[in-house]
């Protein structure tokens, strides 16, 4: 009953969030995810105490995060980002990694907390900003392709780094398991693009409008299996979820265009309509507001981290794309690449669970991530009000 009561308040929060965003749209465009986080703080134990996290709520939130990574992987159309966009994005993220680790060391010295801070600063909230970019009509433009590439590296790069650097396994063993997962993932990706079973294709097509919904079940199966495989190998589950999105995208793209649009709308309904909002509301419930307000030094870190997101992610993007995009789209790309939240929550959670990162520092990082997804995309989309041809 306690789980059901908490879930009821969480569902109320995730339903009210887009209503608030819509009400304020005439004055300022604020993503619904910001209200989901704020309402999560409000109903959580830090303020009203209406909802609390138990095993059931925690599992739903974690699966919502997996779905967010799945949808980020699904949106990454490899044909659009391969080549120069992906090479520039990879170079930019490597520069961000060096800068992030350096700034982390400056804040906390050469220690495990500095590693956590450094990795958190290299992240990009692709799953959070992508719907806004898509709604603005930018995905089919050169800017949109680079948003996908920069965002993908800003999520996939930290996931791999977390698996290698924040894992309590033997590093050689982790590398071996990561390579094994890569081999399996490559095989599955190839099969999705080239080995479509006629029986499965027929079942997908004939059940799209029925109660069977085989395509949706197949997508969920791919997510669960790859998340389970990654977790079983001691890797982060988000790695499996991201690859699952790539697999499903390749499988869908190999079919009929109309069929893919229907399947996409259904899995987005499950993800963005239910599971992903649960993750963001619960993330707000997890936010340690008291620790942040109790320590003035931690509160002072919040604007510092916000600026560091710009320096660590935005500056390398500006640098490596200086010959590829005009000034305004380039600054827009840098701002979108500097927006960070989901992986910040994941990385700081690892730090606090192991008692290596002070709760106040983690709250400052997450708070800066919240502000980044509120402020940076708004400015970025104002810079490019129309698709760039």
**3-class SS string, the chain:** CHHHHHHHHHHHHHHHHHHHHHHHCCCCCCCHHHHHHHHHHHHCCCCCCCCCCCHHHHHHHHHHHHHHHHHHHHHCCHHHHCCHHHHHHHHHHHHHHHHHHHHHHHHHCCCHHHHHHHHHHCCCCHHHHHHHHHHCCCCCCHHHHHHHHHHHHHHHHHHHHHHHHCCCCCHHHHHHHHHHHHHHHHHHHHHHHHCCCHHHHHHHHHCCCCCCCHHHHHHHHHHHHHHHHHHHCCCCHHHHHHHHHHHHHHHHHCCCHHHHHHHHHHHHHHHHHHHHHHHHHHHHHHCCHHHHHHCHHHHHHHHHHHHHHHHHHHHHHHHHCCCCCCHHHHHHHHHHHHCCCHHHHHHHHHHHHCCCCCHHHHHHHHHHHHHHHHHHHHHHHHHCCCCCC
Q: Is the pLDDT of residue 22 over 90?
A: no
Residue 53: partners with Cβ closer than 8 Å, 6 or more residues away:
6, 61, 282, 285, 286
Q: Which of 1, 10, 2, 8 is nearest to 286 (CA)?
A: 10
Q: Is the pLDDT of residue 5 over 50?
A: yes
- What is the spatial distance between Cα 112 and Cα 115, in angstroms, rounded to a whole number? 5
Mean of the pLDDT values across residues 258-272? 83
Q: 259 is written with which tokens? A: 């069929």
Asked whether 341 and 372 are in contact (CB, 8 A), the reply is yes
pLDDT above 90 covers a percentage of the chain that reads 20
Residue 295: band (very low, low, confident or very high) from pLDDT cuts 50, 70, 90: confident
95 vs 378, which has greater pLDDT? 95
User: Alpha carbon of 357 to those of 161, 296, 364: distances in Å?
Assistant: 17, 17, 11
Mean of the pLDDT values across residues 172-192? 80
pLDDT per position as a tens digit, 57-89: 999 998 998 888 888 788 777 666 777 888 898
Instruction: Enumerate domains of the chain plus CATH numbers.
Output: 2-383 (1.20.1530.20)
Q: Is the pLDDT of residue 329 over 80?
A: yes
96 vs 161, which has greater pLDDT? 96
**Residues 96, 98, 103, 108, CA torsion sign:** positive
Residue 309: partners with Cβ closer than 8 Å, 6 or more residues away:
121, 338, 339, 340, 368, 369, 372, 376
Q: What is the pLDDT of residue 259?
A: 73
- What is the spatial distance between Cα 214 and Cα 262, in angstroms, rounded to a whole number? 12
Find how far residue 132's CA is from the centre of its chain.
14
Mean of the pLDDT values across residues 95-111? 83
Indicate the angle between helix axes 55-75 and 2-24, nearest 10 degrees.
40
Q: Is the pLDDT of residue 258 over 80?
A: no
pLDDT per position as a tens digit, 203-232: 888 887 788 888 888 889 999 999 998 888
Q: Which of 276, 247, 243, 270 is nearest to 345 (CA)?
A: 276
Q: What is the pLDDT of residue 387?
A: 45
Q: What is the pLDDT of residue 389?
A: 40
* Average pLDDT of the residues of the chain: 83
Q: Which of 137-141, 159-163, 244-248 has the lowest mean pLDDT?
A: 137-141
Q: What is the pLDDT of residue 166?
A: 67
Q: Which of 44-53, 102-111, 154-163 has the lowest mean pLDDT?
A: 102-111
Residue 1: band (very low, low, confident or very high) from pLDDT cuts 50, 70, 90: low
């Amino acid at each position: 009953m306690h789980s059901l009561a908490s879930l009821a308040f969480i569902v109320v929060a995730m339903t009210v969030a887009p209503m608030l965003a819509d009400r304020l749209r005439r004055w300022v465009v604020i993503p619904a995810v910001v209200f989901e986080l704020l309402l999560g703080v409000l109903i959580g134990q830090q303020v009203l105490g209406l909802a609390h996290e138990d095993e059931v709520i925690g599992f739903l939130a974690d699966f919502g995060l997996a779905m967010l990574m799945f949808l980020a992987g699904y949106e990454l159309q490899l044909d659009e980002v391969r080549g120069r966009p992906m090479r520039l994005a990879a170079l930019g993220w490597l520069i961000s990694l060096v800068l992030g680790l350096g700034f982390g060391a400056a804040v906390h010295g050469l220690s495990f907390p500095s590693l956590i801070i450094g990795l958190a600063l290299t992240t990009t909230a692709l799953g959070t900003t992508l719907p806004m970019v898509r709604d603005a009509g930018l995905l089919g433009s050169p800017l949109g392709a680079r948003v996908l590439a920069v965002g993908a590296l800003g999520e996939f790069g930290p996931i791999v780094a977390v698996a290698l650097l924040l894992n309590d396994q033997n590093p050689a063993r982790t590398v071996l398991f990561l390579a094994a997962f890569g081999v399996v993932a490559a095989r599955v990706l190839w099969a999705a693009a080239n080995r479509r079973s006629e029986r499965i294709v027929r079942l997908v097509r004939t059940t799209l409008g029925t109660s069977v919904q085989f395509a949706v079940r197949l997508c969920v199966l791919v997510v669960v299996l790859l998340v389970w495989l990654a977790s079983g190998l001691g890797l982060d589950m988000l790695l499996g979820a991201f690859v699952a999105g790539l697999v499903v995208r390749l499988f869908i793209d190999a079919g009929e265009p109309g069929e893919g649009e229907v399947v996409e709308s259904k899995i987005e309904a499950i993800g963005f309509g239910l599971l992903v909002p649960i993750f963001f509301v619960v993330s707000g419930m997890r936010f340690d507001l008291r620790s942040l307000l109790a320590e003035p030094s931690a509160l002072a870190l919040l604007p510092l981290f916000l600026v560091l997101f710009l320096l660590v992610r935005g500056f390398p993007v500006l640098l490596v794309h200086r010959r590829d995009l005009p000034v305004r789209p380039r600054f827009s790309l840098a701002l979108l690449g500097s927006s960070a939240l989901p992986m910040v929550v994941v990385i700081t959670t690892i730090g606090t669970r192991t008692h290596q990162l002070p709760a106040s520092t983690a709250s400052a990082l997450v708070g800066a991530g919240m502000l980044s997804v509120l402020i940076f995309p708004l400015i970025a989309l104002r810079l490019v009000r129309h698709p760039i041809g």
